[in-house]
Structure 1
Amino acid sequence: MTNADVELCHNKHDIDSTTSPLISAVMFGAGIFGNVAALVILEIRRRRNTRTGETRRHSLFHVLITSLVVTDLAGTCLVSPLVQWSYSHNTTLVGMSPDTRSVCWYFGVTMTFFSLATMLLLFTMALERSVAIGYPYLYSRHVTKKCAYITIPLVFFLCMLFCLLPFAGFGKIVQYCPGTWCFIDMNPAESKQKVYATLYATIMLVLVLAIVACNGFVVYQLFRMYQRRKRNCGSVMANTRSNSERRVMSMAEEVEHLILLVFMTIIFIMCTLPLVVR
């Protein structure tokens, strides 16, 4: 795509009639259905754990994963309807507010905020699992549900600060073809705009690598746990674990959480990596 084509995408007011809204509509519906289904499953599991007396054991991970699902659901509801409205009226986001481009800026800032927030929350979950399985004594003594109530607002605050930088002239939001979405300018002319785009990509890449590293550490610790249990099977040592080890989840539960983390990591990487590479 030439510079003239890119500039046309940034400023066009009408959507090409040949462009179909089917893919975006399917993604919107899948996002809503998936997140609502996840919330229902989490609530069912929370009630089951309450009945069995395991609320304390699962509370922190439950708070983190619930916040992740709610955040992703909020991002979908705040962004995707604009895409459908744009298609239905054959008007681009810039065309909705040609003078101020406020709709385009809203869309771009919202996308940036929720992409960063969801990835940071996913990293927090991966880090929590790493500490829980790798350092059970430290986890049982110092990591509580209150940590989530501090971490989650801090994540949102840092993401908001980053997203407000374009309003101070550091970074730029532009429209992309077919005119139904806006995001950080990935080919800016000014150096400070380039720094902002590169900073976003670097943060996302570091988070992806950190999540993969945490998940790899959990896999290693689970393998060591399996080896210890295999060695101690049938011996007295199998029944003399410390109190801190009793408080962490069983190996089967850890594997279940690891599979969930890996699955969500793959989804978020597939959604964000093309922009990060670009």
Structure 2
Amino acid sequence: MWDPNMSNVLREGTRGNNSSSSRGQEDSGSVSVAFPLAMMLAGLLGNALAAGLIFRTYRRKSSKRKHSFLLGIGALAATDFTGQLLTSPIVISVYVSGRRWSRVDPSGHLCAFFGVSMSTFGLCPLLIAVAVAVERTLAVRSPHWYSSHMGTRATCTVLLSIWAGGLCFSLLPLLGLGQYTLQWPGTWCFISTEPTSAGNLIFASTFACLGLLSLLVTFSCNVATITALVSRGRSRRSTSQGSKQWERITMETVIQLMGIMCVLFTCWSPLLVIMLKMIANHTSVERCGIPAQGFEAQKDCNFFLTAIRLASLNQILDPWVYLLLRKILLRKFCQVANAVSSCSNDALKEPPMILTADVKPDG
């Protein structure tokens, strides 16, 4: 799972700050322990607040038809919270020890645990986002089917299946398919893209393809939901049946869905794309920090490090995009839209609504 000699390579690479080929090490070394500490605190705080608000909303009698949606975003908050709690303290410990992994993990077993955690709590949020996107699409486009089939038990079954499937997939390297190795600049472990075995390439490619497929499905479902909302909003506007309330629901949901898509694609697509690029080019992050490598390879290393930080940032942004900033975003958007349209300020005084099966089709 872990090559102790790799820590020596990484350590020697980080010492070569005076050479032009070690600019990437300078960049990574400029990040102090304050960076992972701040990310951990922000992630834990945001997801804890979101989980508390979801639990309070779930207990209300008026929220029975929203249970599937609330369970989905609650599972997302719990997954992100657990992922931050398991991985961030390890990274902080490595930074405190002078960014030398061998001091914290001389046996290498912690590297395997870190890799499993990174894979599990990286893949599961993407799959949960797919589940939430499908749930919203069904709630809007097939509300009758949704009301009769999407109960609490079905939602829990889907979420448990996602967690179990993500964990089982992440454990495959422990069974010999793929490998978790120490990654440049020596502060974390992740899936190896080293072309030393077919198992490495298969596992890394599968992880990247599953992630990109999740993004594609989430994007497609959200576009389908937005299209249905806009189309139905136009028909309601022509009949003047609850048009103000429907405009508020539509605007709130469209803003939320677009925010979700922007955050997911910004945070995850760079990492998944660079993984596939490294697999195609038969390169790996394990070789980063070696002075003999070329400029293009070092550029990929720097991009990969930035990409993994963006993916980690997704755990922090998820609760704010899904729940905590929903009402604030709506209020600001309506203030701007009011100058050029008939966005009603009175609608903002009503309590915020979460789009679920409460939405009925016309007729």
TM-score by length of 2: 0.64
Measure how far apart 1:203 and its partner are.
0.4
Contact 1:9/1:177 (<8 A) preserved? no
Aligned pair partner of 2:185 in 169, 173, 178 = 178
Provide the secondary structure at the position in 1 that maps to 2:181. strand
Aligned pair partner of 2:256 in 244, 253, 260 = 260
Contact 1:104/1:181 (<8 A) preserved? yes
Q: Aligned residues, how many?
A: 254
Distance 1:87 1:115, change over 3 A: same
Amino acid at match of 2:270: P
Amino acid at match of 2:167: M
Aligned pair partner of 2:170 in 163, 176, 193 = 163
Q: What 5-or-longer segments of structure 1 have no aligned partner?
A: 1-6, 240-248
Amino acid at match of 2:39: M
Q: How do 1:128-277 residues align onto structure 2 when only pairs under 5 Å count?
A: 128-233=135-240, 238=241, 252-253=248-249, 255-277=251-273
Contact 1:10/1:175 (<8 A) preserved? no
Contact 1:186/1:194 (<8 A) preserved? yes
Measure how far apart 1:189 and its partner are.
2.2
Amino acid at match of 2:252: E
Contact 2:133/2:218 (<8 A) preserved? yes
Amino acid at match of 1:277: V
| CA–CA separation in structure 2 for the residues paired with 1:155 and 1:171 | 21
Amino acid at match of 1:67: A
| CA–CA separation in structure 2 for the residues paired with 1:63 and 1:10 | 46
Aligned match of 1:119 = 126
Amino acid at match of 1:203: L
| CA–CA separation in structure 1 for the residues paired with 2:175 and 2:185 | 27
Q: Which moved more, 1:9-18 or 1:61-70?
A: 9-18
Aligned match of 2:67 = 59
Amino acid at match of 2:72: L
Measure how far apart 1:33 and its partner are.
1.9
TM-score by length of 1: 0.82
| CA–CA separation in structure 2 for the residues paired with 1:94 and 1:13 | 10
Amino acid at match of 2:156: Y
Contact 2:7/2:101 (<8 A) preserved? no
What is the RMSD of the two structures over their aligned residues, measured on CA atoms?
Answer: 2.5
Measure how far apart 1:258 and its partner are.
4.6
| CA–CA separation in structure 2 for the residues paired with 1:174 and 1:37 | 34
Q: Is 1:76 matched with 2:84?
A: yes
Cα shift readout 1:178-218 (whole Å, capped 9, x = no counterpart): 21111001233222211111111000000001000010000
Measure how far apart 1:147 and its partner are.
1.2
